[in-house]
Amino acid sequence: MADYPDANNPWRGRCRIPFERLDRERAAAERTLAKIVSQPAVSAKGDDLGPVAERLARLMRDCGLESAVLPTGGAPIVFGKRKESDRLPTILVYGHYDVQPVEPLSAWSSDPFTPVIRDGRMYGRGTADNKGQHLAQLLAMKAVLEAYGRLPVNVVMIVEGEEEIGSPNLERWVAEHAHLLRADFAYTSDGAVHPSGRPVVLCGSRGLLYLELTLRVASADRHSGNFGGVSRNAALELARVIGSLWGDDGEIAVPGFCDAVAEPADEERAAVAALPLTWPIPASEMLPRVDSPSDWFGRVLLRPNLNVSGLGSGWTGPSMKTVIPATATAKLDVRLVPDQDPHDVARLITEWVRAQAPDVEVDVISAVKPSRTPLDSPVVERVSQAVEFAWEHPPLVYPSLAGTVPDFVFTSTLALPSVIVPYGNADQANHAPDENMLLDFFHKGARTFVSVLHAFAP
């Protein structure tokens, strides 16, 4: 990598003309965002996402990148690149064009794929997660090219179509196409800024393991009067198994679950301690053991977690139906931290569940490794300076995203430093009805990437 410019380098001045272009083109940028949001791309439903990928590839070309739609074992990846010189550093940009299902449709204030603007926000599925955020990168590059005819660095970009289902084909695709992805660091925009509106720079992501537990104890549900007290009850038995995953203190009780957890670095602990917190949920909805902002952030950024995300059994319809359930299912999601491996954790949970109830089937639905870039990386420092310039406020630096993105394919598979700089508002309602993006944040996102491009120019 070329040496980074020092703090007095005049890269900030080179951002002025692209900023002016972005300001003049705000209305056109919002029309482009509305157009791509109107294209459904729900990966969870197994739809053909090829046409959406092709339209995105055309948009990349319109913004000055060479682009191609490349196959995977599932939804295609849209690949783009702009190479200016072998002497320049290269930024690898990641995004995803797939979106979450929209149900329940009745909870939306407007059609999720007919974007509308209300009170400075664009509402629609994918506005913030993630179409608005990777579009901001493309518009930034277009503005720089229109201003100067070239980019100050090389750029490689991949936008996948399976992030919302755990990126099952991304790791293999990245390993097989590593020759196309040579870069100095990876840059992702996903997630949300701090609730105060301050920008953030994230240096990693917790991993994800998603499991489905199924128990069948009879061929059919039975009458609870005729068979109550003599027939096995799947709901009751599975509930007992689920309860056994935690101890009386509320901490995870699966033997060996935390054995591989890496001790957080001193810099990570200090970063967590410095994060301001406006309690995002009422005290009545919080676990009583969470007693401080540092404990809150320590739990959601530096520690693993095991969660029950769904339960199903017996009769849950209106009025009553007196049955003994024959089957019961549970969905578990596990957030992982370095150095936990999702497949090792799946084995530990499966062994514990089978020890409680041998009949329970455990299926792995998704497995994404955790990822971390050291906070003292020069990439983190330089990106933070660029973000501060674009937002006119120093960013908060987080050691990790509380949620999960496939950042590990960059830090592990490609051995690159990686940063995540969200542009979405904290109340974006991603994965929920009325998903939205503050248009001011969308435009600040484009400014941010203009700043990043210039900050890394030698």
Q: Is residue 150 part of a domain?
A: yes
Query: What's residue 24's pLDDT?
Result: 98
Domain containing residue 217? 208-268+301-368
The segments of the chain whose pLDDT lies below 70 read 1-9
Kind and range of the H or E run holding 386: helix 378-391
Residues 374 and 364 both lie in one domain: no
Using DSSP, state whether 343 is helix, strand or coil.
Answer: helix
Residues 187 and 145 in one domain: yes
- Does 376 lie in the same domain as 359? no
CA–CA dist 162, 146 (Å, integer): 32
Closest CA to 98 of 117, 118, 72: 72
The answer to whether residue 275 sits within a structural domain is: no
**The pLDDT of residue 293:** 80
Q: How far apart are CA 131 and CA 101, in angstroms?
A: 15
Q: d(Cα 273, Cα 38) in Å, to the nearest integer?
A: 41
Same domain, yes or no: 322 and 395: no
User: For residue range 354-401, what is the model confidence (pLDDT) as tens digits?
Assistant: 999 999 999 999 999 999 999 999 999 999 999 999 999 999 999 999
- Does the residue 278 lie in any domain? no
Both 140 and 45 in one domain: the answer is yes
pLDDT of residue 8: 53
Q: Does residue 292 lie within any of the structural domains?
A: no
> Are residues 121 and 183 located together in one domain of the fold?
yes
CATH code of residue 336: 3.30.70.360
Can you give the pLDDT at residue 2? 39
Tens-digit pLDDT profile for residues 138-182: 999 999 999 999 999 999 999 999 999 989 999 999 999 999 999
Cβ(189)–Cβ(428) below 8 Å: no
CATH of the domain at 396: 3.40.630.10
- Asked if residues 441 and 425 have their Cβ atoms less than 8 Å apart, the reply is yes
| Residue 378 covered by a domain | yes
Of 322, 350, 368, the domain-final residue: 368
Residue 425 belongs to some domain of the structure: yes
Do 248 and 361 sit in the same domain of this protein? yes
C-alpha–C-alpha distance, residues 426 and 404, integer Å: 16
What is the reported pLDDT for 5?
A: 43
403, part of any domain: yes
Number of domains in the chain: 2
Is the peptide bond prior to 104 cis by the omega test (within 30 degrees of 0)? yes
Can you give the C-alpha Rg of the chain in angstroms?
A: 24
- Residue 274: inside a domain: no
34 & 114 share domain: yes
Cα 203 to Cα 147, 220, 371, 377: the distances in Å are 31, 50, 8, 9
Same-domain status, 328 and 449: no
Residues 193 and 85 in one domain: yes
Are 140 and 245 members of one domain?
A: no
Q: Which of 344, 368, 392 is the last residue before a domain boundary?
A: 368
- 191 shares a domain with 112: yes
For 441-455, the DSSP string reads HHHHHHHHHHHHHHH
State the pTM of this model: 0.91
| Domain end residue (candidates: 350, 368, 386) | 368
Q: How far apart are CA 383 and CA 200, in angstroms?
A: 10
